[in-house]
C-alpha cells in the first residue's frame, strides 16, 4: 500500500472547501454612539478588515450591513445613536424589526445571534439616555432573547476599565456580559505602548452564548483570540480520536496505515477552517512531507509504520504486526497537535506562508510531531 502525498493534500483541500461552504452565517448587530470605536472593534476582532474593506449597504435608515465575500459573517452597524431620543427610538425599532424579520424567515443563516453595545471607557461615563435605551431594548427583546453584550471600548487603562465595569454592573442592566476591550494599541508619548486586549474574553463569551453549530464559524471569522482557536482545535482532535479509535477499533496492519488517512484528512480540514487562514496545497504537502520525513511524492505504508515505530520506542512491538486503536490515537493526536502548532505560528506571524517549505520550518514541524508522539504515548 502506497501513500501519495500530493493526493492526500488534494483531499485535504477538497475537504476544507467543503467545510467552508457548509459554515453557517454569523450575524451580529454592533451599536453605540459615533466615535466610540465600533469600526475599530470590528476590524480588531474579525479577519479581513471588514469595517474598512467590506461592502457596506444601507438596509434601513440607520442600519448598515457589512459583508465580505468568503467571510461567513454579517455585521449590522448602527448609525445615529447620538442624535437624540427620537432617533434612538427609531434605531431601537429598526433593530427589533430586523430581529423579528429574521426569526420569522426561520432561516438560521439570517437570524441575529448577538448584539454588541459599545460604550467608551475613556469617556468614563455611560450616559443616562444610553442606560434608558439599553433597558428598553432588553425589555422589547424579552421574548426574542438575542444576547446583548456590553463592550467597553478604548479601555486604555485596565484599572479604570475594571471600575467602569463594576459601575455598569451595579446598574443591573439586562445584559449577558460586560467586556473591556482595547482594539488598537495605545501609545502614551513615545515610550509606552498598551497592546490590544479583550479579544480572547469576548470570543470566549461568544462561544458560550452561540449554539454549537455556529462555533466553527465563530472561530473561522475571528482573529483576535488565538488561544480560543487552539482550544477549539484541540477539541476537534480529541473528538476525532475518541470517535474513531476508541475501543472496538479493529487493528490495522502496518502496511495499511493509510486506512487512517480519511479520518486524519477530516481532522486537518476542521482545524484549518477554525484558523481561517488561506491554506493551499503547497502548505499541506510540506506539512505531510515533514511529518513523514520524506521528500518523495509517495511513501509506502510499511515505511511510514516502521518510521513511526522508531519514534515510538516500546509501542513498536505491536500485537500481531498491526496498529491498535491506542497507537492510532497517539499518532493522530500528535499529527493534530503538530498541525495546530503550525496554524498557531502562522497566525502569530512566526512562520510566514512563503517560508513553510524552508528546511527550518520543515524540521520544526517534524520536531513538534516527534515531541507530541512522545508526550501522548
Cα-to-chain-centroid distance, residue 313: 36
Q: What is the DSSP letter of 72?
A: E
Asked if 161 is part of the footprint of ligand GTP (rule: CB under 6 A), the reply reads no
- State which residue, 154 or 366, has the beta carbon closest to ligand GTP: 154
Measured from the CB atom, is 119 or 221 closer to ligand GTP?
119
Does residue 153 touch ligand GTP according to CB under 6 A? yes
Q: Which of 154, 165, 229, 341 binds ligand GTP (CB under 6 A)?
A: 154
Residue 38 binds ligand GTP, judged by CB under 6 A: yes
Transcribe 224-253 into DSSP letters.
S-HHHHHHHHHHHHHHHHHHHHSTTPPPEE
- Between CA 372 and CA 377 the distance in angstroms is 8
- Residue 112 touches which of Mg ion, ligand GTP, none (Cβ within 5-8 Å per kind): none
Which partner in Mg ion, ligand GTP, none is near 183 (CB below 5 to 8 A by kind)?
ligand GTP
Report if residue 50 touches ligand GTP, rule: CB under 6 A. no
Backbone phi, psi, residue 226, to 5°: -65, -35
Do the beta carbons of residue 220 and residue 276 sit within 8 Å? yes
Q: Which segment (35-43, 91-99, 261-269, 337-345) binds ligand GTP by CB under 6 A?
A: 35-43
Beta bridge partners of 74: 27
Which of the choices Mg ion, ligand GTP, none does residue 68 contact, using the CB cut-off of 5 to 8 A by kind?
none
CA distances from 154 to 41, 192, 194, 199, 232 (A): 9, 16, 11, 13, 28
Q: How far is the CB of 32 from ligand GTP (least distance, A)?
A: 6
Question: What is the C-alpha separation between 279 and 302, in angstroms, rounded?
Answer: 29
The torsion region of residue 145 among left (phi > 0), alpha (psi -120 to 50) and beta comes to left
What is the contact surface with Mg ion in residues (CB under 5 A)?
38-39
Reduced DSSP (H G I as helix, E B as strand, rest coil) percent helix, strand, coil of the chain, to 5: 55, 15, 25
Report the nearest approach of Mg ion to the CB of residue 116 (Å). 13
Binding residues with ligand GTP: total (CB under 6 A): 14
Q: Residue 16 corresponds to which cell in the numbers above? A: 476544507
Q: Give the residue, chosen from 12, 23, 36, 168, that forms a contact with ligand GTP under the rule CB under 6 A.
A: 36
Smallest separation (angstroms) from ligand GTP to the CB of 156 = 7
CB of 141 to Mg ion, least distance (A): 23
Nearer to ligand GTP, 50 or 279 (CB): 50
Distance CA 1, CA 67 (A): 47
Q: What does the block give as the cell for 295?
A: 521528500
Examine residue 37 and tell whether it contacts ligand GTP (CB under 6 A). yes
Dist CA 162 CA 68 (whole Å): 34
Q: How far is the CB of 148 from Mg ion (least distance, A)?
A: 19
Residue 84 contacts ligand GTP per CB under 6 A: no
Measured CA to CA, the distance from residue 194 to residue 172 in angstroms comes to 30
**Helical H segments across 46-173, by residue range:** 50-53, 85-105, 128-140, 158-170
**Cβ closest to Mg ion, residue 66 vs residue 168:** 66
Q: Which stretch binds ligand GTP (CB under 6 A): 34-42, 245-253, 282-290, 324-332?
A: 34-42
CB nearer to ligand GTP: give 50 or 365.
50
> If binding is defined by CB under 6 A, does position 91 make contact with ligand GTP?
no
Residue 75 in the binding site for ligand GTP (CB under 6 A): no
By CB under 6 A, the residues from 168 to 227 that bind ligand GTP are: 182-184, 186
| Radius of gyration over every alpha carbon of the chain, rounded to an integer in angstroms | 24
Query: Does 62 participate in binding ligand GTP (rule CB under 6 A)?
Result: no
Residues of this chain that interact with ligand GTP (CB under 6 A) are: 32, 34-40, 153-154, 182-184, 186
Amino acid at each position: 500500500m502506497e501513500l501519495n502525498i500530493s493526493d492526500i493534500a488534494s483531499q485535504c483541500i477538497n475537504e476544507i472547501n467543503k467545510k467552508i461552504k457548509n459554515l453557517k452565517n454569523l450575524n451580529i448587530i454592533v451599536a453605540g454612539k459615533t466615535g466610540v470605536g465600533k469600526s475599530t472593534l470590528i476590524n480588531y476582532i474579525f479577519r479581513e478588515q471588514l469595517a474598512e474593506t467590506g461592502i457596506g449597504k444601507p438596509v434601513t435608515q440607520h442600519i448598515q450591513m457589512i459583508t465580505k465575500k468568503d467571510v461567513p459573517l454579517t455585521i449590522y452597524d448602527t448609525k445615529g445613536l447620538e442624535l437624540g431620543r427620537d432617533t434612538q427610538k427609531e434605531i431601537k425599532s429598526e433593530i427589533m424589526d430586523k430581529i423579528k424579520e429574521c426569526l420569522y424567515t426561520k432561516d438560521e443563516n439570517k437570524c441575529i445571534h448577538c448584539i454588541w453595545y459599545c460604550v467608551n471607557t475613556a469617556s468614563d461615563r455611560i450616559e443616562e439616555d444610553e442606560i434608558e435605551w439599553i433597558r428598553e431594548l432588553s425589555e422589547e427583546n424579552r421574548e426574542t432573547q438575542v444576547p446583548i453584550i456590553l463592550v467597553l471600548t478604548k479601555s486604555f487603562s485596565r484599572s479604570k476599565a475594571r471600575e467602569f465595569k463594576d459601575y455598569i454592573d451595579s446598574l443591573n442592566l439586562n445584559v449577558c456580559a460586560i467586556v473591556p476591550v482595547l482594539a488598537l494599541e495605545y501609545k502614551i508619548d513615545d515610550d509606552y505602548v498598551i497592546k490590544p486586549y479583550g479579544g480572547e474574553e469576548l470570543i470566549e463569551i461568544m462561544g458560550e452564548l452561540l449554539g454549537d453549530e455556529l462555533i466553527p464559524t465563530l472561530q473561522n471569522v475571528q482573529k483576535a483570540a488565538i488561544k480560543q482557536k487552539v482550544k477549539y482545535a484541540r477539541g476537534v482532535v480529541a473528538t476525532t480520536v475518541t470517535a474513531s479509535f476508541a475501543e472496538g477499533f479493529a487493528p490495522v496492519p502496518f502496511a495499511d496505515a493509510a486506512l487512517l488517512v480519511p479520518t486524519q484528512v477530516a481532522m486537518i480540514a476542521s482545524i484549518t477552517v477554525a484558523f481561517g487562514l488561506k491554506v493551499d496545497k503547497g502548505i499541506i504537502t510540506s506539512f505531510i512531507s515533514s511529518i513523514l520525513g520524506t521528500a518523495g511524492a509517495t511513501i509506502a505504508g510499511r515505511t511510514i509504520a516502521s518510521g513511526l515505530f522508531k519514534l515510538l520506542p516500546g509501542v513498536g512491538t505491536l500485537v500481531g504486526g498491526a496498529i491498535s486503536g491506542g497507537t492510532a490515537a497517539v499518532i493522530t493526536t500528535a499529527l493534530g497537535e503538530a498541525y495546530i502548532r503550525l496554524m498557531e505560528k502562522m497566525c502569530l506571524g512566526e512562520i510566514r506562508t512563503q517560508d513553510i517549505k524552508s528546511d527550518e520550518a520543515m524540521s520544526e514541524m517534524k520536531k513538534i510531531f516527534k515531541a507530541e508522539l512522545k508526550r501522548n504515548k
